A and B are shown apart, each in its own frame.
Chain A
């Protein structure tokens, strides 16, 4: 018998013998075969890449930053286009007692936003927080359609909103669900001609129609605020409520023509059904402005409706008015663990007379549907399709629809 046959026979012999003697030998034969081809148990290339991603903490570094540095994506008012910029964020200063953030962002429409925030977020064992914040915006094409509920869609204009503010805020949280505090700051405003397709606001609207369009001034602003928050998840709530009340006093420091006070109430209620896989989300918001004799509310500080966050069948910043009311209702159902589908109805109106706000007639309405993409109980992206008598609107946003009303935020309210 040739040598190769002999070798093969020798190779097969143990298996054959093992199979014939006992169950234990059968197992040993299988082990013999395995022993001859032992190799390191290594992940394939895709798994190696994913392991590297995890061990190098790439996602965390993208999310939380690398040694404090990270990219700031979005975070600008609707209409800015895609915004991007660097951010330096530390919440571990003085052993976590202090936090600091500095960011700069520019958008595809050449809007610019700068921000620095410094604060102590965990005072008195997390029962209080204090922040000071400076912020600068230079938004060169904010839409304006005129004041009041009867403004025309064809009246679209735009203006440059440039402001710089320094504000401080102190909040006390006696209980986890209750926050009370106050904020105060100084605001430098500069309104200029808009850029782009629609005509500049100052070319269409006279100062009487758009108060403040022709004169620049600065403001002190301050006031108390309070909120009750028992949402189950702050970034993607499915049950609970968030009720916010704030009263802001604006004092015109240069021209003494634009001082006013504003009371704002924001109510959110989430009614869970079927183990929170269905949610009726309700939102109501009202703002009423008062002013002294001879004073006016500058148009850029008027309440605004229209767009991705309120009346979704209308253009962004479609309605301006001294006062406003807004009602939203959503029927949300979970189709997939990371995807909720939504039917919604929006109603609201602006007015220049407070008493009109409480009359629920002549409300502008919109209906539509949308999709909410969720990760870890937080909505990170939403698509909304809104319909109204002014047409169809599509919105892609990286936030929850109602969001939290910023407490003591600097800058005009609608462009935070």
Chain B
């Protein structure tokens, strides 16, 4: 078929070509940059609940390549971030402790600590728990609030319940949406069975739940003075839509426009999971909820179920391999096969405490850069040094006292176990700082003060380097063409004045001796003075 190229067609083709290659008006910074908050969400009422098969998730991630990955010559920077590289406040993430230091009270409060299950009346058991590996059930308390109640394994009291509480508070402070989890003690007499509750037997039979079924569950869990310790997780607001995946997007959510494997808040999550020993950080332990805000229903993304962290496997202690190797690691396996077992891997030499409430959680053999979850996670694999820096700076923002305060919310009955967890978290935090902060020039929290650009050097602040000499070069930045014109002699922190008018940009290239690790800070001239417009990092 031959198409005659009329002037109109030529015009149209030209227009489309221009639009596709160089969208009209494209520029590095818009007036609303840095955009801290996601725009108000669109209605996602049509999103429907769906499940994820954990077997499928396991096989797919182990034996196929999921999501979009970096390739030689094509590195895909993190997305869903503002011009500082910070994730925006929204359905996935909320800027918390690092951005505005939380008090100890706020850290301990976490997502909320005012709504534990009421002990004023009996708890009505309304559903048997069918998901997950720990025994439990769902209850409604006397105030009508609904909780998932889970237990520790009989031989390991507190091993799952303590992490479930305290790790939820860490993740909250780190910016994620998490449920309110509580340690709750109760006696058998406090339980009342609702009508028409069904239980599924191991053989698949569905039958009415009876009080004896409740007793059977409780026979398999620790009991002290006729009281049972449990994790009571308050039902999340909204309608459950199932887990999110760590790759691709949710097809029924108009607000979910960034592939998950490229989200900084999910790439960086790998560092947080490493810190907290959350090797079970897979899709099945997440939850999307359809929530309503300002009359609009949208999808909010949560992390849930932290019972398998800090060396716990929920139903017992975690494998010593946890965090060091994937479950399926052919290279490591064949090495062991070939060496006849006489060259054990490093992780097999790790020393663990003998407290039943602490699983296999330690800090001496912990290698922050090599930590892995149970199986490959595309978002974790895609992380880049700037993703790592973003996460590491947040981990380093927790002081020892703050860590201790959060750990105490786990209510370990053995002070030695509590101390072990605190000490490990502090040492692991420091290892994370050493592993990741210096992969880029670790300067952050920029401001213009007294005519100079100032910042915080996190490497110096956290003692990774004693001090640093900075090399500066200022340029005039053309926001439309994204080009820089060097300003001769402008090689200090002092902002060169008189070079641009209102709305104009300057760029400061800064490095600390290693030119590969360059940070470019962009300043915009506003009527009231200089404003930091954004930051680029190279490594």
A15 shortest CB reach to chain B, Å: 8
Given A24-B39, A34-B256, A277-B348, decide whether A337 and B320 contact each other with a Cβ distance below 8 A.
no
On chain A, the residues within 8 Å of B83 by CB distance are 23
B71 at the interface (CB under 8 A from A): no
What is the count of residue pairs linking A and B with beta-carbon distances less than 8 angstroms?
166
Total number of B residues with any Cβ neighbor in A under 8 Å? 68
Give bound CA distance, A333 to B82, whole Å.
50
Give bound CA distance, A1 to B8, whole Å.
6
B360/A57 in contact, CB under 8 A: no
B415 at the interface (CB under 8 A from A): no
B296 at the interface (CB under 8 A from A): no
Give bound CA distance, A274 to B344, whole Å.
7
B32/A22 in contact, CB under 8 A: yes
Chain B, range 1-54, C-beta contacts under 8 Å to A = 8-9, 12, 15-16, 19, 23-26, 30-33, 35, 38-39, 42, 46-48, 50-53
A54/B55 in contact, CB under 8 A: yes
B341 at the interface (CB under 8 A from A): yes
Given A38-B254, A278-B344, A337-B327, decide whether A92 and B8 contact each other with a Cβ distance below 8 A.
no
B520 at the interface (CB under 8 A from A): no
B336 at the interface (CB under 8 A from A): yes
The 0/1 profile, CB within 8 Å of B marked 1, for residues 7-19 of chain A is 0110010001001
The 0/1 profile, CB within 8 Å of B marked 1, for residues 328-359 of chain A is 00011111110101010000000000000000
Total number of A residues with any Cβ neighbor in B under 8 Å? 62
On chain B, the residues within 8 Å of A20 by CB distance are 23-26
On chain B, the residues within 8 Å of A56 by CB distance are 204
A16 shortest CB reach to chain B, Å: 6
A175 shortest CB reach to chain B, Å: 14
A29 shortest CB reach to chain B, Å: 9
Give bound CA distance, A30 to B262, whole Å.
15
The 0/1 profile, CB within 8 Å of B marked 1, for residues 281-315 of chain A is 00000000000000000000000000000000000
Give bound CA distance, A321 to B78, whole Å.
74
The 0/1 profile, CB within 8 Å of B marked 1, for residues 143-157 of chain A is 000000000000000
Give bound CA distance, A47 to B327, whole Å.
21
B349/A274 in contact, CB under 8 A: yes
A57/B56 in contact, CB under 8 A: no
Interface-forming stretch among B195-203, B433-441, B448-456?
Answer: B195-203
Give bound CA distance, A218 to B249, whole Å.
73
A68 at the interface (CB under 8 A from B): yes
B250 at the interface (CB under 8 A from A): yes
Chain A, range 262-282, C-beta contacts under 8 Å to B = 273-278
B12, B48, B53, B340 pick with most chain A CB within 10 angstroms: B53
Given A2-B8, A47-B52, A278-B348, decide whether A31 and B337 contact each other with a Cβ distance below 8 A.
no
A46 at the interface (CB under 8 A from B): yes
Identify which of A41, A96, A273, A278 contacts B250 (C-beta below 8 A). Answer: A41
A360 at the interface (CB under 8 A from B): no
A335/B203 in contact, CB under 8 A: no
B394 at the interface (CB under 8 A from A): no
The 0/1 profile, CB within 8 Å of A marked 1, for residues 243-255 of chain B is 0000001111111
Give bound CA distance, A215 to B250, whole Å.
77
Identify which of B12, B47, B333 contacts A335 (C-beta below 8 A). Answer: B333
Q: Which residue of B lies closest to A5 (CB)?
A: B12
On chain A, the residues within 8 Å of B129 by CB distance are none
A16/B19 in contact, CB under 8 A: yes
B252/A40 in contact, CB under 8 A: yes
On chain A, the residues within 8 Å of B74 by CB distance are none
B337/A335 in contact, CB under 8 A: yes
Chain A, range 110-133, C-beta contacts under 8 Å to B = 126
On chain B, the residues within 8 Å of A214 by CB distance are none
B48/A24 in contact, CB under 8 A: no
Identify which of B35, B50, B329 contacts A42 (C-beta below 8 A). Answer: B50
Identify which of B200, B328, B350 contacts A275 (C-beta below 8 A). Answer: B350
A238 shortest CB reach to chain B, Å: 11
B53/A51 in contact, CB under 8 A: yes
B320/A38 in contact, CB under 8 A: no
B19/A1 in contact, CB under 8 A: no
Given A23-B32, A343-B340, decide whether A28 and B203 contact each other with a Cβ distance below 8 A.
no
A229 shortest CB reach to chain B, Å: 14
Give bound CA distance, A39 to B254, whole Å.
10
On chain A, the residues within 8 Å of B16 by CB distance are 8, 12
Give bound CA distance, A335 to B25, whole Å.
58
Give bound CA distance, A277 to B336, whole Å.
11
On chain A, the residues within 8 Å of B333 by CB distance are 335-336, 339
On chain B, the residues within 8 Å of A42 by CB distance are 50, 251
On chain A, the residues within 8 Å of B105 by CB distance are none
A35, A53, A126, A336 pick with most chain B CB within 10 angstroms: A336
B321/A337 in contact, CB under 8 A: yes
B251, B334, B341, B350 pick with most chain A CB within 10 angstroms: B341
B165 shortest CB reach to chain A, Å: 27
A16/B252 in contact, CB under 8 A: no
Give bound CA distance, A311 to B320, whole Å.
33
B320/A60 in contact, CB under 8 A: no
A162 at the interface (CB under 8 A from B): no
A62 shortest CB reach to chain B, Å: 10
On chain A, the residues within 8 Å of B344 by CB distance are 273-274, 277-278, 333
B212 at the interface (CB under 8 A from A): yes
Identify which of B51, B257, B350 contacts A31 (C-beta below 8 A). Answer: B257
Identify which of A35, A64, A67 contacts B254 (C-beta below 8 A). Answer: A35
Identify which of A24, A34, A336 contacts B257 (C-beta below 8 A). Answer: A34
A74 at the interface (CB under 8 A from B): no
Give bound CA distance, A66 to B201, whole Å.
10
With A38-B46, A50-B53, A337-B319 given, name 10 new contacts (CB 8 A): A2-B8, A21-B25, A23-B82, A27-B35, A38-B251, A57-B200, A277-B344, A277-B345, A333-B340, A341-B337
Query: 8 A-B Cβ contacts within 8 A?
Result: A21-B25, A34-B256, A40-B251, A41-B251, A57-B200, A66-B203, A336-B336, A337-B319
Measuring CB to CB, which residues of chain A are less than 8 angstroms from any residue of chain B?
Answer: 1-2, 5, 8-9, 12, 16, 19-24, 26-28, 30-31, 33-35, 38-43, 46-47, 50-51, 53-54, 56-57, 60-61, 64-68, 92, 95-96, 126, 273-278, 331-337, 339, 341, 343
